[in-house]
Amino acid sequence: MRHIWLGCRKNCGDSVVSKVKTNKKDRNERREELLRPNRYLGYDRDGLGMYLLSRGAYKIAESQFRRAIWLNPFEVRFVGHLAWCLYKQGSHKGAKNYIDQLNLKGEDIDEEIRTIIHLIKS
């Protein structure tokens, strides 16, 4: 019995761990897909995107913002953050398109998003 355990440990130790992580990731993504669109989803993705944006990892941050918008299309902040990320990457036209799609009244948005909109439009 001990010989079998050591053999398994040598041959499949890393693959078992990676398979467990993959299954967990798939489970979380499947849960998100079943619950979307939902006003309570996407905030973790947005927070991660803002952290990545502050570190200059624009492409990865963009993917997090797009996922947050996909999960929760109701949150204006996510679209503003994606637009800012695109702007920082040099895609000024793409950022302006996202801002134009928002179609918001001035009182509907907070100061952070209002500032982003102003900077992108100027």
Residue with tokens 């993504």: 29
* pLDDT of 10 higher than 70: no
* pLDDT of 87 higher than 90: yes
Which tens digit of pLDDT belongs to each residue from 24-41?
667 777 877 777 777 788
Give me 56's structure tokens.
């200059």
Report the distance separating Cα 99 and Cα 46, nearest Å: 17
The top-level CATH class assigned to 42-121 is mainly alpha
Structural domain boundaries in the chain: 1-35, 42-121
> Higher pLDDT residue, 12 or 52?
52
pLDDT value for 3: 43
Element (H, E) at 22: helix 2-35
In this prediction, residues 84-94 reach a mean pLDDT of 94
Element (H, E) at 68: helix 58-71
Burial of 31 per CB tally in 10 Å (0-12, 13-18, 19+): exposed
pLDDT value for 83: 95
pLDDT value for 52: 96
The mean predicted confidence, pLDDT, of the chain is 80
- Given pLDDT bands bounded at 50, 70 and 90, which one contains residue 66? very high
* pLDDT of 50 higher than 60: yes
Q: Under 8 Å CB-to-CB from 46, ≥6 apart: which residues?
A: 64, 65, 68, 75, 77, 78, 81
Report the distance separating Cα 99 and Cα 83, nearest Å: 7
* pLDDT of 20 higher than 70: no
pLDDT value for 106: 57
- Let me know: does 45 contact 65? Beta carbons within 8 Å: yes
